[in-house]
A = this chain, B = another copy of it.
Amino acid sequence: MTTRAAEPPHPTRLRLLEAALTVIRTKGYAAARVEDVCAEAGLTKGSFFHHFRSKEELAIAAAAHWSEMTGRLFAGAPYHGHEDPLDRVLGYVDFRRSLLEGALPEFTCLVGTMVQEVYATDPAIDRACADSIEGHAATLEADIDAARAAYGVHGAWTTRGLALHTQAVLQGAFILAKAEGGPAIAAESVDHLHRYISLLFGRDPARARPPSPATEKESR
């Protein structure tokens, strides 16, 4: 991930990045025109090319911005407050489930969408997307490891593999949501993921979930 201490970006650049998120998540990267992004941001191309050298640079910057945004969102999420590490892992899944609301471009994943289009044609964007996904998955590994230790679970799978599996389920859920036109089936798939992790650690999946601890004001 390498979230290097980024100086806060120029507000106009930020507006363009936010616009890019919306447009690319709606139409995909190739179909997203620079002018679409400008219109969404209420600017013109002259301004765009003042802040970005090319459309490709926008995509890479958007992926980095996405990583930072989601990084902050998940770092501040309440599930980190659980005592039991397994509750933290399951809390993460519940949190992801709670995000599946509203219109599709609001909850689907920027980098998952982009990587499908560019993996074979644009190595730089592909790398940025892969970094984003892997970096996010890595934030789960400490809790999964702690849960394995606490529950004495040592199956034929790796911590990193399970962390990435959660991402696979979520990415796949987004695809189903796009095909079906809404988040309902995506939510069911995330429920299956929750049930899987419960079973994997020998916990009854039907057991009531622990209440979310109060959201931390500042998680540093």
A→B interface (CB under 8 Å): 26-31, 104-105, 111-113, 115-121, 126, 129-130, 133-134, 155-158, 161-162, 164-165, 167-173, 175-176, 178-181, 185-186, 188-189, 191-192, 195-196, 199-200, 205-206
Contacts and interface: CB of A to CB of B under 8 A. Distances in A.
B185 A175 contact: no
Contact of A188 (B115, B120, B157): B157
B31 A117 contact: yes
A116 B174 CA distance: 9
Nearest to A31: B30
Query: What number of copies of this chain does the assembly contain?
Result: 2
Contact of A117 (B28, B162, B191, B200): B28
Dominant SS at the A interface?
helix
A105 B119 CA distance: 10
Contacts of A113: 116
A17 to B, nearest CB: 20
A115 B175 contact: yes
Contacts of A129: 179
Contacts of A200: 195-196, 199
A99 to B, nearest CB: 16
A120 B27 contact: yes
B117 A155 contact: no
A19 to B, nearest CB: 16
Contacts of A133: 176, 179
Contacts of A205: 155
A168 B9 CA distance: 36
Given A26-B120, A28-B117, A117-B30, A168 B173 contact: yes
Given A189-B168, A196-B192, A180 B130 contact: yes
